[in-house]
Structure formats: C-alpha cells, structure tokens
Amino acid sequence: MAESSKKSSGRKPKATTKKASGKKTASQATRAPAKSAKPAKPAKPAKPAKPANLVAPGESVAPTAKALAGAASHSPKPSGAIRIQLVRSLIGSTLHQRAVVAGLGLRRLNQTVERKDTREIRGMVAKVPHLVHILS
C-alpha cells in the first residue's frame, strides 16, 4: 500500500550519467595529435621585368587612319544601346531570375542601366520580361 500512496507524476526518473574517468575512449585514442605550426614557405624568386612593346623594324608607330576615325566619332551614348529598368521586385522570383537581373546590372527597384544592344542582352531581358522594361 505504501506504493499506492505515493503520487505518480508519470515521468520517468532521470538517468544518471557517469563521470569521465581518466581513460580515453576509443574515438579519442585514434585521433591524430594536433598539428604544430607550419614552417614558413621560402620566398619565390622575383620575375624578370617584361620588355616594353617594341615596334618591329619597318613598322609605323603612328595610329592608322581607321583608328583615328573611330576615335573622332566617339560619342557619350553608344549608338547600339538600350536602356533597361527594373520595374518589379525580386521577392518571390527564382534564383535563376535573380541571377539574370544581377547580370544585367540591376540592383534596386526603378534603377535604369544602359547596355549594348546585343542578342545576349536581349535574351536576358526575354527571360525576365515581367520584371524589366526596355525604355529605348
């Protein structure tokens, strides 16, 4: 009857753990000892200096007419450029779509970037038409 008079909380008694003895366990005994500091690597020899671009005998040093014509027609805005604007948030988009938008150079909402009008850029825009608009 003494057992029935005790209140039963329904919990099992906690298991006692043994204190660690001075002996090592099997996993501790098989571990390799800690590595000591690595010796310093020897310094690499210095590379010889590269010679400056030399002009071959009989070759002209002056720029060609074609190079001069290209430099004269340089304008601040490239003729084959498009402006792309990020108009929708990237929340809920896939990682691939986020990578495409980052590849276009867009980071913030309503940010506008100017890129060369190439097939690659047009293909990237075609992958995320619901997120970006082409302005020009």
Q: What pLDDT, on a 0 to 100 scale, did the predictor assign at position 117?
A: 95
Domains of the chain with CATH codes: 78-134 (3.30.1390.20)
On whether the pTM is more than 0.75, the answer is no
Name 112's bridge partners. Answer: 85
SS in 3 state form for 59-111? CCCCCCHHHHHHHHCCCCCCCCEEEEEECCCCCCCCHHHHHHHHHCCCCCCCC
> Is residue 100 a contact partner of residue 131, using CB atoms and an 8 Å limit?
no
Contacts of 105 (CB under 8 A, 6+ apart): 113, 115
Q: What pLDDT, on a 0 to 100 scale, did the predictor assign at position 113?
A: 97
The model's pLDDT over 59-77, given as tens digits with 9 standing for 90+, comes to 655 656 555 555 544 445 5
